[in-house]
Every structure is written in C-alpha cells, then in structure tokens.
Amino acid sequence: MNTILRLRLLIIVISVSLTAAACGGSQTAPTSTPVGSSRPASGDPLAMIADFYEALYGGGDAASFVCAASPEVAAVFRQSAALAGIAAVAAEVDLSRMTYSASDQTADSLTVTISGDVVYRRGENEEIVEYPETSIYVVNENGTWKVCGAG
C-alpha cells in the first residue's frame, strides 16, 4: 500500500480513537449531559456521520461535527483534517463503499458502527483500503446529532 495512503488512513483512525479517549469512551454518558436532550434531534444521524467522514477525508472542518463536551477533541480534528488534506494531495477519495449502521438509539443518543472500504484514485491508479470497523457514540446536542466518543 502506498505510504501516503497508509498515513492518511492512520490519521483518520487516530482521530476517531482520540475522540473516543477524550470523550470517555463509554455508552453510559459523554463527559457532560447533551444540551437540549429534551427535544428530538433533527436530521439523520447516519447522514451526519457520513458528512463527518467526508469532512475528515476531504480536509474540511470535522470539528463542527464534534460535541461541545469535547473542545480538545475539536482541536485534534482540525489538526488531523489539515494533515489528511496534505497527505492526499492530488488524490480523489471515494467513500461510497463505507457503511454506517445505528444501534442502541434513543432520543438523546445512539451508537454508529462504521466499516467498509476507502477508495483512493490518482489519475488511472486506484487503491482500495479496508477501513477497520469502528463504533462512534453520537448525542443529541441542541437538537443536532454530534460525535461524542466511542460506542
């Protein structure tokens, strides 16, 4: 596997792992109670996770998808998104083979399991990298779904 591709996948996996570590990594509750949990969150939490991964792989602002209970994690996501963008210069990243499934869903939280393949394209070269199965804890924060740790 290309060294740049390994670096990129490693950055993403480390980012998700740091989120889990900083947020407590349990399903019982994030480090603070989700704000606005008395009202249902709008939008599709699985679509939010897909957008979160698009931001990570696209070098965008993944921090906007992170719960407020974890400001240090938001900073890590900003840094890793910048590094991921540098690592994939001139590469097109295709996340269409990624899958996102929900479990343990309540009005205030759920666990999303992510798995699948990441496809990297550079010109006519294509490389498929298996993304290791990862679970992410998601909370309802002010009526919006946010990433807040390991599931």
Q: What are the backbone dihedrals phi and psi of residue 120, each rounded to the nearest 5 degrees, phi first?
A: -105, 130
pLDDT value at residue 5: 54
Helix pair angle (45-58, 71-87), 10° resolution: 50
Residues of the domain holding 140: 3-150
Give the separation between CA 128 and CA 148, rounded to whole angstroms: 28
Hey, what are 50's tokens?
A: 């897909």
The confidence score (pLDDT) of residue 70 equals 65
Quote the pLDDT of residue 58: 76
Give the CATH number for residue 74: 3.10.450.50
Which structure tokens are listed for 1?
């596997």
pLDDT of residue 73: 67
Q: What is the pTM of this model?
A: 0.70
pLDDT of residue 13: 58
Amino acid letter for position 7: L
pLDDT score recorded for residue 29: 35
Tens digit of each residue's pLDDT, the chain (151 residues): 555 555 555 555 555 554 444 444 433 333 333 333 344 566 899 999 999 888 888 767 777 888 887 667 666 666 666 666 665 566 788 999 999 999 999 989 999 999 999 898 888 889 898 989 999 899 999 899 998 877 6
Rg (CA), the chain: 15
